[in-house]
């Protein structure tokens, strides 16, 4: 199952979730109506109870959904997560950040926010958010302390599969919906706890009503657990498979699962209420639920899928060994030589004018499905960035001038006008800082490193206050338009920043499953293909036309839309993003393949063209690895 099939499955899952929620609500309302009718014998009271129950469930769901509007960071914070500083020097946290940064760059997405649940000794993790722009990954302190680097990488790769495949959106909506159907049970519990003040004769009816609410609410608890189990179990197996595909080794993920089974703390979370609410999102079983209510497949089954010959009795031996001497992840790194992995020099990057060979099916299969070679390339990209430059990308007071510096032009006259735009919106200090960074670090930066650098800087950027971000985005747009022409790179970087920052500022507004068919966006297809063809062959109109027709043949084979490169060049894409992002996953897959047909029609794809392709896919929420080449 590739990314687009996962997205289609997630969309169907969203529909099934609504259906199951409706059935659960109907069951709760019916139970309330029966109780009221038996107690009162009044049809009017029964009707009133129906509307009151629907109001309680609806308002509860709306309240919980509204409380999660802030996205992944809100969920992680509510679970007791502590943000991991970008410039941390703690060895365990630095290792976590290194792994996550490389996985993010290999996946072609912004680096997510990182959290640690410091008070949790069990080995667990989860990913939360509405989109890749507001994603957060949280791990327990037990995972940091007990897992070695390979095992931690396996867990993070598992969580990234949830980030990439649409599972996060489904999971965060599930929290909101389930809170509603649990409302009657919660109300009954609160009344019983705080109803002690009314234990006299007058308080008896209230306590009876509370008990009735809890009894009826048990139906909501039953349905809630069944829905979570049904949604979660198969997705966890798919995430395990995706993690193995990414790391190309089963040792790490299997090792993490064995440590869950062999350590006393397992994967259980201490806060049982919170653990049950997010149990469908966790890497391991976070609450004591089993059988039909289990949100994860049995641990031994998950290990056997990775190591077919595994005997469950081995967990008993591991438990006995680790009871006396619990594993230490960092010590294992040193013993296994994993710590040296970060110390070695990176392989060389391809030259700026290198050509790569791409095929449509190959690229479509790489969307949101990074493999081991993508991880190695991401390691090369991060390692090729100057250490001081990486440190600057993690500093709050430097991140905005650093990104501004990437867009400074080589022409002195244009640069003078750009400086005026920066000063007018963000002040002289930022302008000077951007120019200093350009001179010291950015002028000779390899083209393949520009977007990965922006990805590393993004977690710090989105922490800035909203007014500063608005001024920053206005500055970026003004700089791009200063000379009246927009280069492909200028457009790509500015558009990515616009999309990612806007989505991070208001994540719940920018998430949806597309429903538009390919036939509904013919002109948008034609515009995108024409811009791509023109960008790849700016001085060869005949070759550009052939590239355009090659892409059109794949996506709209029966249409005859003439090649008409827009006069405004790459800026014409502003009108196509909304309609194209609303496509059904199957149509997006065809579009990606059509774009590859266009850029590879002459059998030569430059690094710049591959980066443009990756940027277009990122804006359309089909993330590609940082470097596209056959590994």
pLDDT digits (tens, 9 = 90+) for 364-380: 666 656 666 666 777 77
Residue 564 CA, chain-centre distance (Å), reads: 36
More confident residue, 294 or 122: 122
Name 126's bridge partners. 138, 282
Nearest CA among 95, 85, 193, 185 for reference residue 143: 95
Selecting among 101, 102, 159, 593, the annotated active-site residue is 159
Strand order across the 136-140 sheet:
82-83, 113-117, 136-140, 125-128
How confident is the model over 64-68, as a mean pLDDT?
A: 83
The CA distances from residue 465 to 398, 451, 505, in Å, are: 14, 23, 10
**Catalytic residue list contains 316:** no
User: What is the bridge-based pairing of β-strands 605-606 and 113-117?
Assistant: unpaired
Nearest CA among 100, 1, 65, 168 for reference residue 621: 168
More confident residue, 580 or 246: 580
| Mean pLDDT of the residues in the chain | 81
The three-state secondary structure class of 343 is coil
378: Cβ contacts below 8 Å, ≥ 6 apart:
102, 103, 105, 106, 370, 452, 625, 626
Q: What confidence tens digit (pLDDT) does each residue in 441-474 have? A: 898 888 778 888 888 888 888 888 889 999 999 9
How confident is the model over 200-228, as a mean pLDDT?
A: 73
96, 139 Cβ separation under 8 angstroms: yes
**Rounded Cα gap, residues 602 and 547, in angstroms:** 8
Sequence ranges of the domains in the chain:
1-338, 357-395+440-631
More confident residue, 207 or 550: 550
pLDDT surpassing 70 at residue 312: yes
Residue 144: its pLDDT value, please?
95
Nearest CA among 579, 469, 458 for reference residue 516: 579
More confident residue, 603 or 562: 562
Pick the range with the lowest mean pLDDT from 44-48, 66-70, 399-403.
Answer: 66-70
pTM for this predicted structure: 0.78
Residue 116: which H helix or E strand, with range?
A: strand 113-117
Q: How many CA atoms lie within 13 A of 314 on its CB side?
A: 15
With 0-12 / 13-18 / 19 or more C-beta atoms within 10 angstroms meaning exposed / middle / buried, residue 61 is buried
DSSP annotation string for 185-216: HHHHHHHHHHGGGG-SGGGHHHHHHHHHHHHH
- Give one word for 627, left, alpha or beta, with left for phi > 0 and alpha for psi -120 to 50: beta
274, 79 Cβ separation under 8 angstroms: yes
**Rounded Cα gap, residues 551 and 533, in angstroms:** 9
DSSP 339: G
**Rounded Cα gap, residues 110 and 66, in angstroms:** 24
The 3-state secondary structure of 273-284 reads HHHHHCHHHECC
Nearest CA among 260, 293, 283, 287 for reference residue 271: 287
**Residue 605, token pair as written in the block:** 């794809």
More confident residue, 295 or 414: 414
Tell me the range of 31-35, 128-132, 287-291, 427-431 where mean pLDDT is highest: 427-431
Tell me the range of 5-9, 89-93, 163-167, 612-616 where mean pLDDT is highest: 89-93
> Distance from first CA to last CA of the chain, Å, rounded?
21
């Amino acid at each position: 199952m590739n990314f687009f099939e996962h997205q289609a499955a997630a969309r169907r899952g969203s529909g099934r979730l609504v259906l199951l929620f409706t059935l659960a609500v109907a069951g709760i309302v019916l139970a309330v109506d029966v109780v009221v009718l038996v107690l009162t014998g009044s049809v009017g009271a029964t009707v009133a109870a129906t509307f009151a129950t629907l109001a309680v469930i609806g308002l509860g769901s709306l309240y919980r959904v509204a409380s999660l509007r802030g996205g992944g960071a809100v969920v992680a914070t509510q679970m007791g997560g502590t943000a991991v500083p970008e410039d941390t020097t703690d060895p365990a946290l630095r290792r976590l950040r290194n792994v996550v940064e490389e996985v993010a760059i290999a996946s072609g997405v912004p680096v997510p926010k990182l959290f640690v649940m410091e008070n949790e000794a069990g080995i667990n993790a989860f990913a939360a958010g509405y989109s890749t722009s507001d994603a957060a990954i949280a791990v327990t302190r037990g995972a940091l302390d007990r897992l070695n680097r390979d095992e931690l990488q396996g867990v993070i790769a598992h969580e990234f599969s949830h980030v990439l495949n649409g599972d996060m959106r489904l999971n965060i909506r599930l929290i909101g919906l389930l809170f509603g159907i649990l409302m009657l049970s919660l109300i009954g519990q609160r009344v019983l706890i705080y109803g002690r003040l009314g234990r006299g004769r007058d308080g008896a009816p209230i306590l009876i009503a509370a008990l009735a609410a809890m009894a009826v609410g048990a139906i909501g608890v039953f349905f809630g657990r069944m829905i979570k189990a049904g949604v979660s179990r198969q997705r966890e197996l798919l995430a395990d498979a995706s993690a193995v595909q990414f790391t190309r080794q089963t040792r790490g993920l299997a090792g993490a699962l064995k440590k869950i089974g062999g350590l006393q703390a397992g994967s259980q979370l201490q806060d049982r209420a919170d653990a049950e609410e997010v149990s469908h999102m966790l890497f391991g079983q976070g609450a004591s639920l089993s059988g039909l209510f289990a949100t994860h497949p049995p641990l031994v089954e998950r290990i056997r899928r990775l190591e077919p010959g595994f005997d469950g009795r081995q967990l008993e031996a591991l438990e006995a060994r680790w009871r006396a001497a619990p594993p230490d992840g960092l010590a294992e790194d040193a013993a296994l030589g994993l710590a040296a992995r970060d110390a070695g020099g990176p392989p060389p990057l391809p030259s700026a004018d290198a050509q790569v060979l791409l095929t449509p099916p190959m690229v479509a299969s790489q969307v949101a499905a990074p493999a081991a070679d993508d991880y190695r390339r991401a390691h090369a990209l991060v390692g090729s960035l100057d250490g001081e430059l990486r440190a600057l990308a993690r500093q709050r007071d430097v991140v905005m001038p650093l990104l501004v510096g990437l867009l400074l032009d080589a022409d002195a006259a244009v640069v003078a006008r750009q400086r005026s735009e920066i000063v007018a919106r963000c002040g002289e200090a930022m302008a000077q800082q951007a120019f200093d960074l350009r001179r010291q670090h950015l002028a000779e930066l390899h083209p393949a490193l520009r977007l990965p650098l922006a990805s590393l800087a993004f977690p710090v950027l989105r922490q800035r206050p909203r007014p500063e971000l608005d001024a920053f985005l206005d500055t970026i747009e003004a700089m791009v338009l200063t000379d009246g022409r927009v280069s492909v790179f200028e457009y790509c970087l500015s558009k990515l920043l616009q999309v990612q920052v806007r989505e991070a500022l208001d994540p719940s507004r920018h998430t949806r499953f597309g429903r538009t068919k390919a036939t509904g966006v013919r002109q948008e297809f034609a515009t995108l293909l024409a811009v791509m063809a023109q960008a790849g062959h700016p001085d060869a109109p005949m070759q550009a036309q052939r590239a355009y027709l090659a892409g059109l043949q794949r996506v709209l084979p029966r249409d005859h839309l003439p090649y008409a490169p827009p006069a405004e060049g790459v800026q014409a894409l502003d009108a196509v993003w909304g309609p194209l992002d609303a496509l059904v996953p199957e149509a997006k897959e065809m579009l990606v393949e059509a774009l590859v047909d266009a850029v590879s029609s002459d059998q030569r794809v430059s690094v710049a063209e591959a980066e443009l392709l990756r940027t277009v896919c990122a804006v359309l929420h089909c993330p590609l690895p940082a470097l596209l080449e056959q590994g």
